[in-house]
Amino acid sequence: MTRPERRRYLVLHDYGMGGLWWWVRAATPEEIPRRVAEVEVIDDPETMAKADGWDLEEVDLDAVDQYSPLWDMIQTRLRQSTATGFARLVGRDRVWLQRVEEEQGLREVYFTEHGPDGRRVRQVRVTETGDRFRSTEDDWPFNPPDDLYDPELADKEIPQRVFEDEWHRAKPEPEWD
């Protein structure tokens, strides 16, 4: 059995205020996020041309060693791939989620709309007092993608109408007004 031709793809783990980059050899670009958690394949020609000048590690997806940060992301994906809901959100034009976040004793609920790349497009933040504030991708300085393969995100999926109801009840975020 011959191995399919492997091409080099630019891969990014975007963690918001920065990112880790690699050249990864794989049979297809789709194979990479299916096997590696929290990464995206970058296909923008301008970014790829710039990255050619960077001193990036180049690895084969089938030969990542345990000392690479990619190793941990591959292990995460292996654990996720057996869970109910794995990849359920992948391949959709839009995904709507509801999450609860607690920080420093404050509880807020976030209703988010995501594009096919996992990045937020619109968001509603509901405070503990019930105030609702909406914002869009133009308002955020950082917008790393959510990993739509992650089965935990599938558990947070909501119908579009729930998101739209919250969106219409919200007012613009005060600091972006």
Q: What is the mean pLDDT of residues 84-109?
A: 95
Q: What residue ranges do the domains of the chain occupy?
A: 7-80, 95-176
**How far is the CA of 59 from the CAs of 8, 32, 44, 54, 146, in angstroms?**
9, 12, 20, 15, 24
Q: What is the pLDDT of residue 98?
A: 98
pTM summary value: 0.90
Residue 1: the pLDDT is: 63
Question: 111 phi and psi, to 5 degrees?
Answer: -110, 120
**pLDDT at residue 176 is higher than 60:** no
pLDDT at 35: 98
Structure confidence at residue 51 (pLDDT):
96
Does pLDDT of 2 surpass 70? no
